[in-house]
């Protein structure tokens, strides 16, 4: 669409919706017209975009009729309700929720890994879980080079993964704790300040949480490896922004640490920060407000013949949500895959 896309943002007032607007402006996405949509209670809110003030509207079939493409930054229940409405009105949906990720016929896409899957959509393209996105960007280059047999991953997830309420609770907990007051927990299961909570989302089969199992099922679908063995542990940490992950890989073929470092150094979307002697390795503080996945502490897994271990950090609001969705949209536009 040489003259630009008619774009809708559903959930424009939320944290991910706001980040989408920021990323769209930074990347100079070719927009002919933009509609900012939200809950009827937020209709009338004013938002600045590219120097203009735009009034937020309620979601409606008419809004989707006016749009070529809609980026959804809302919860699963709302996506399930509204995405079919958009598709019925000939508007392609890129959805950030869990609603459609594991549905047959819905591509689940990380552009650095499986951009070719976009073309098979039937009106909805799913954006994966933030931790999954971060992991597959880092492990897919190793898989392509040496084949993966097993993945063990522990995530260290920032409170912003629980939205603004999570950020507010960490601030409040920290202040209360330092003032010798009771640190009350409303968003998280326990006090998050000065603590780690190995519990994100609800527990399910075999006492893995839903957050952990998303990483298993979504990784298999994105990378087209249905039998890949993955053992995840998801932990909430008292960090405001950007997730980190400790990843151990068992490969089919042997890869030296030097070979792995070289592969990762040329991989799309990856920045290698791997000089531990000089205290250089990925950290969430410095990954924040960027779009790359940072990989470091690359070393041999000494418990395996064909094992590698490394540490990654990335901004889960940007690459883990907003930026990944917009990268998908850029491919849709560039290849006219509406």
Enzyme catalytic residues: 130, 243
The span from the CA of 320 to the CA of 313, in Å, is 11
Q: Based on the domain organization, do 242 and 330 belong to the same domain?
A: no
Mean pLDDT confidence for 311-325:
98
The pLDDT score that the predictor gives to residue 205 is: 87
Quick check: 249 and 264 in contact, CB under 8 A?
no
Predicted confidence (pLDDT) at residue 87 exceeds the cutoff of 70: yes
Predicted confidence (pLDDT) at residue 64 exceeds the cutoff of 80: yes
Q: Based on the domain organization, do 86 and 138 belong to the same domain?
A: no
The pLDDT score that the predictor gives to residue 111 is: 98
| pLDDT tens digit sequence for 92-128 | 999 999 999 999 999 999 999 999 999 999 999 999 9
Residues 6+ apart with CB under 8 A from 26: none
Share of the chain above pLDDT 90, in %: 98
Q: Based on the domain organization, do 109 and 243 belong to the same domain?
A: no
- pTM for this prediction: 0.96
Domain, as residue range, for 20: 5-128+321-334
Predicted confidence (pLDDT) at residue 1 exceeds the cutoff of 80: no
| pLDDT tens digit sequence for 2-22 | 689 999 999 999 999 999 999
Mean pLDDT confidence for 139-160:
98
Question: 276 falls in which pLDDT band (50, 70, 90)?
Answer: very high
Q: Based on the domain organization, do 166 and 296 belong to the same domain?
A: yes
CATH of the domain at 145: 3.30.360.10
Q: Based on the domain organization, do 160 and 232 belong to the same domain?
A: yes
CATH of the domain at 77: 3.40.50.720
Q: Based on the domain organization, do 29 and 160 belong to the same domain?
A: no
Q: Based on the domain organization, do 18 and 162 belong to the same domain?
A: no
The pLDDT score that the predictor gives to residue 79 is: 98
Q: Based on the domain organization, do 103 and 154 belong to the same domain?
A: no
The pLDDT score that the predictor gives to residue 2 is: 66
DSSP 201-270: S-B-GGG-BHHHHHHHHHHHHHHT-TT-EEEEEEEE-S-SS-EEEEEEEEESS---HHHHHHHHHTSTTE
Q: Based on the domain organization, do 45 and 69 belong to the same domain?
A: yes
Task: Count the domains in the chain.
Answer: 2
The span from the CA of 193 to the CA of 176, in Å, is 9
| pLDDT tens digit sequence for 171-201 | 999 999 999 999 999 999 999 999 999 999 9
The pLDDT score that the predictor gives to residue 220 is: 98
């Amino acid at each position: 669409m040489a003259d630009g896309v008619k774009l809708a943002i559903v959930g424009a007032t939320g944290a991910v919706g706001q980040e989408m607007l920021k990323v769209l402006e930074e990347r100079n996405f070719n927009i002919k017209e933009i509609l900012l949509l939200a809950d009827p209670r937020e209709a009338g809110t004013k938002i600045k975009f590219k120097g203009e003030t735009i009034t937020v509207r309620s979601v409606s079939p008419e809004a989707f009729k006016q749009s070529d493409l809609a980026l959804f930054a809302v919860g699963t229940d709302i996506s399930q309700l509204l995405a079919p409405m958009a598709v019925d009105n000939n508007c392609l949906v890129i959805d950030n929720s869990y609603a459609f990720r594991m549905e047959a016929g819905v591509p689940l896409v990380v552009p650095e890994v499986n951009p070719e899957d976009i073309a098979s959509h039937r009106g909805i393209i799913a954006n994966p879980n933030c931790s999954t996105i971060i992991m597959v960007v880092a492990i897919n280059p190793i898989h392509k080079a040496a084949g993966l047999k097993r993945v063990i991953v522990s995530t260290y997830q920032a409170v912003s993964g629980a939205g603004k309420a999570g950020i507010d609770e960490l601030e409040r907990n920290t202040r209360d704790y330092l003032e010798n007051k009771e640190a009350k927990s409303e968003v998280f299961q326990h006090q998050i300040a000065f603590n780690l909570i190995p519990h994100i989302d609800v527990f399910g089969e075999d006492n893995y949480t839903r957050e952990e199992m998303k990483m298993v099922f979504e990784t298999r679908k994105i990378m087209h490896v249905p039998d890949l063995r993955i053992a995840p542990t998801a932990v909430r940490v008292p960090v405001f922004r950007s997730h980190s992950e400790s990843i151990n890989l068992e490969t089919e073929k042997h890869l030296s640490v030097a070979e792995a470092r070289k592969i990762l150094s040329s991989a799309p979307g990856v920045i290698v920060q791997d000089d531990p002697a000089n205290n250089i390795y990925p950290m969430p503080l410095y990954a924040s407000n960027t779009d790359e996945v940072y990989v470091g502490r690359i070393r041999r897994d000494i418990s395996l013949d064909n094992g590698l271990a490394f540490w990654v950090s990335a901004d889960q609001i940007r690459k883990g949500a907003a930026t990944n969705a917009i990268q998908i949209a850029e491919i849709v536009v560039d290849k006219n895959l509406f």
